[in-house]
Amino acid sequence: MTTKTITVVRDLLATNKQAAAAIRAELRARGILGVNLLSSPGSGKTTLLEALADRFRGRFRMAVIEGDIETERDAERVRAKGIPARQITTGGACHLEAKMIGQALKDVPAEIDFLFIENVGNLVCPASYDLGEDVRLVLLSAPEGDDKPAKYPQAFLSADALVLTKSDLLPYLPFDPRTAAAEAQTIKPSLRIFRISALCGDGVDGLAAYLVEALERLRSGRA
Amino acid sequence: MTTKTITVVRDLLATNKQAAAAIRAELRARGILGVNLLSSPGSGKTTLLEALADRFRGRFRMAVIEGDIETERDAERVRAKGIPARQITTGGACHLEAKMIGQALKDVPAEIDFLFIENVGNLVCPASYDLGEDVRLVLLSAPEGDDKPAKYPQAFLSADALVLTKSDLLPYLPFDPRTAAAEAQTIKPSLRIFRISALCGDGVDGLAAYLVEALERLRSGRA
C-alpha cells in the first residue's frame, strides 16, 4: 500500500473507533447487549438468529441489524420470526462500520435485551471494524474446513467466541471440530467454543446461556 | 466514503488495471491461459485445483499462484500433486492485486499451458481486481446457500463461469442448484454453469473441457 492509502485507512479506523465507543456506551447505558456476528457467506448467521429467536421467545426481547451488500432477504427471514430487523444495504462495501450502526440504531426498538448485528458475509474485512458490540461471535461452518482459523486469523483473534455451525453435516465431511477449535485457541487462548446445528437445534441452548450470562454481567456493571 | 477515500480507491483500481493489462498481454504472448478462481473461504478452490491436476496430468502443464492471508498450506497441497505452486501471503490484505501477480510470475515455470490463480477466500473484494486472467471462475459451494448470487452480485457479474461445488452434499442440504444458477444468470445472462463434486470427481471433466477450449481459442488468436 502507498503512504496515502495507509493514512486513509488509519483515519478510517480511528473515526470508526470513536463511533463504536459512543455506541458501546449508549447500549450499556440502556442495558442492551450488543452482539456482532462475523463469518464467511453462508456459514449460518441468519439461521442462528432464527434459532435464537425461538429460544428467547417470551423470555428476552431481541432486535437485529442486518448487513448485506444487496437484498433485504435476511431481514425478511428474521422478521418472519417476529423479530424487528433493520436492513443495512452497503451497496458494494465489504463490511459494516460503526457509523452505519449509529444511524440504524434510531430505528431499533428501545425496549430490548439483545441487539444482534449480522455483518456482511466476509471472514476478512469486518474483523477490523469495532461496531460497539460487547460480544463478538465468529461462525465457522463444518463445510468450510478446519484449516480456516490459521488462514484467516484476525476474525478469530478479535472474537470472544467461536461458533462451529452445521454440525449435522459432520458425518459427510472431512472436518475435525477439535482441529478447528485447537487452531482457533492457538490464535486466541481465551476463545470460547460452541458446536451447534441451528437447523437441528443441537448446541443452541449452550450458546443462548452464554449470551444471557453476558447480558447479566453487563447489567450488573461487570462487563 | 469521503472524497479522499474515493480518490485513493479509484487510483488503486486504475493502477491495478494497467498492471493487469500487461500480465494479460504477456500470458497471451506465451500461449498461457490465466484462470482466476474467486469464492468464499472453504468453497473448494484448492480441491478443484487438485482435481484438475489429476485430469490434466500427462496432457497439459499447469502452475498455480496461491493467495492467502496467512499460511502456505494451499501451495503445499497443490505441490503434493506435482504442480509448481507459488504462495503469495498477503499478511492481512483481503484480495490479490495485479502487481502481486506480476512479481510472482517471475517464479512460475515458462513452459506451461494453464496458470491458475487462487484468490484470497472472499466473495466480495477480489471481484474488483483484474489480475490479467483470461477466464474468471466464481465457485459457490452447496452449503453456502442458493441465495448468494443476489447478495454478492459483483463476483458473479465479473465471472465467465459459475462452478457449483460440493454437489455430493446436495442430499443433505436445502440448496437448489437451479435457483442458484437462475439467480446468477439473472445477474449475468452469459455466465456458463458447471456443477461439480471435486471430491467425487463428478462434473470435473466438463469444466476441464471448457478450460481446454478457452486455451485453444487463446492460442488460435480468438480470445
| Per-residue pLDDT tens over the stretch A161-194 | 999 999 999 999 999 999 999 999 999 999 999 9
Is A153's CB within 8 Å of B125's CB?
no
What interface predicted TM-score (ipTM) does this complex get? Answer: 0.92
Q: Does B66 touch chain A (CB under 8 A)?
A: no
User: For B27-47, what is the mean pLDDT?
Assistant: 98
User: For A33-44, what is the mean pLDDT?
Assistant: 98
Residues in chain A with CB shorter than 8 Å from the CB of B172 are: 168-169, 172
In the chain, the amino acid numbered A130 is D
Residue A8's pLDDT band, with cuts at 50, 70 and 90, is: confident
User: Which domains does chain B possess?
Assistant: 3-219 (3.40.50.300)
Q: Does A92 touch chain B (CB under 8 A)?
A: yes
Distance CA B36, CA B104 (A): 14
For B53-69, the pLDDT digits (tens) are 999 999 999 999 999 99
Residues in chain B with CB shorter than 8 Å from the CB of A169 are: 143, 169, 172-173
Q: Does A6 touch chain B (CB under 8 A)?
A: no
Cβ atoms of B202 and B142 within 8 Å: the answer is no
Is B124's CB within 8 Å of A152's CB?
no
Cβ atoms of B143 and B169 within 8 Å: the answer is yes
Evaluated on CA atoms B167, B85, B58, B216, the torsion sign reads positive
**Rg from Cα positions in chain B:** 17
Tell which B residues from 23 to 42 touch A, by Cβ distance under 8 Å.
Answer: 40-42
pLDDT at A7: 75
Q: Residue B40: which of A5, A41, A147 has the nearest Cβ? A: A41
Residues in chain A with CB shorter than 8 Å from the CB of B121 are: 40, 123, 151-152
pLDDT at B223: 57
For B87-146, the pLDDT digits (tens) are 999 988 999 999 999 999 999 999 999 999 999 999 999 999 999 999 999 999 999 999
pLDDT at A15: 94
- Percent of chain B topping pLDDT 90: 91
- Percent of chain B topping pLDDT 70: 96
Distance CA B60, CA B65 (A): 17
Across the strands, what pairs with A118? Answer: A37, A66
pLDDT at B133: 98
pLDDT at A222: 64
Mean pLDDT for chain B? 95
Cβ atoms of B187 and B166 within 8 Å: the answer is no
Q: Does A134 touch chain B (CB under 8 A)?
A: no
- Asked if pLDDT for residue A58 goes beyond 90, the answer is yes
- Asked if pLDDT for residue A51 goes beyond 60, the answer is yes
Residue B12's pLDDT band, with cuts at 50, 70 and 90, is: confident
pLDDT at B78: 98
pLDDT at A12: 87
User: For B153-181, what is the mean pLDDT?
Assistant: 97
Tracing cell 502452475 back to the chain, one arrives at B63
For A72-92, the pLDDT digits (tens) are 999 999 999 999 999 999 988
Q: Does B13 touch chain A (CB under 8 A)?
A: no
pLDDT at A180: 97
Q: Residue B169: which of A5, A125, A172 has the nearest Cβ? A: A172
The C-alpha cell that represents A169 in the structure block:
453435516
Is B154's CB within 8 Å of A92's CB?
yes
DSSP helix/strand/coil, A223 = coil
Q: How many helices (H) and strands (E) does chain A have?
A: 8, 7
Closest approach of chain A CAs to the CA of B214, in angstroms? 30
B88 Cβ contact list (under 8 Å, min separation 6):
B65, B66, B67, B68, B96, B100, B104
Q: Does A120 touch chain B (CB under 8 A)?
A: yes
A206 Cβ contact list (under 8 Å, min separation 6):
A194, A196
Distance CA A136, CA A158 (A): 7
pLDDT at B222: 64
Mean pLDDT for chain A? 95
Residue A119's pLDDT band, with cuts at 50, 70 and 90, is: very high
pLDDT at B1: 57
